Structure 1
């Protein structure tokens, strides 16, 4: 069974009603990203940061996976599918995807501010005074700007095993996630799904661009994979 590695970004969740990472003016929900997505921001105003993620968490619990998420589950009937997502939502898992690696953490999890390995499932609001079993303040289990991406090496290993690479709803301009494409084996077919693709065919060999939103684009991807008989 061929291995499809799928890199997903904010574009795949946009059709579920989750806003993309930042607005055109560089703000995230009206905030400078460094105010709400950095250790410095957390140190300066922890209440603001916790409230910001509480709002995101509440919103996530009101939305559902869309057809793009479901289409990726359908691919598991014929392929070994591994998803590497930059998203912090759980929509892939809720749709039924079995193998999902979160590069940037998970919104429905929190961790100790002292021990990164002490992670808890969390669906409620998180406030100052909420502590881990060891008595330390909890924080969102999100990789903030300036922090290491702990799952990056795992993601590199997965991409290096790809028979087919699919990129959905991400510009592939933000590092280190954007570097993953450099580890795909030579001559591996690459499918790029985005309504405004930030790549062109001259940049990569065997690149197929599907210029569409994630739901319609994954419909076309399934048709293409069936037609070229790659199963």
Structure 2
């Protein structure tokens, strides 16, 4: 079986393995063929998100993806490559700070019902793999977009009944935020935890409208002087 790995150039390797995960194949290549091959891994159980990379143009976790002959393996997009398949996620994590994606809970918290928990339960399953960040096409035109990676975390806190000031978070995500998303759904398709960032962003838009905000793109539209019937 042959696969190609994007390094400084696209390098082809051949391994005698069947029904193997990409992480196992990378380990075999590093051990027996090329010790300089660099990649990241951690739990090996699709929990930590460390081994996120792209195969044939789609984001996967190497520990869960089964390799096929002819696969092309690349690092994540929209982030600097440190070496081979290892990338620098610092800027992606910085967007969590810019979007204030953290909890501002009161000292005396209200009772949380099972219904309350279900509202944002799945968002808590995010493993910070960065797949959605890599898949998002908006970064090609706006590198300062807060992105699905951070906005889905904002929804987690905005929808939490224990939050002290969700309005502050809504205010923060108006610039380079909810209105910049194209709702293409690419983030949802690659999430290993089945989190729909697109849906979360749509709900944040609704919250924004309730707070008095509107899509700024409408203000720049020219409707040609009115409607005719």
Per the normalisation by structure 1, the TM-score is 0.27
Q: Which has the higher strand share?
A: 1
Larger Rg: 2
Per the normalisation by structure 2, the TM-score is 0.27
- Bigger RCO (CA 8 Å, 6+ sep): 1
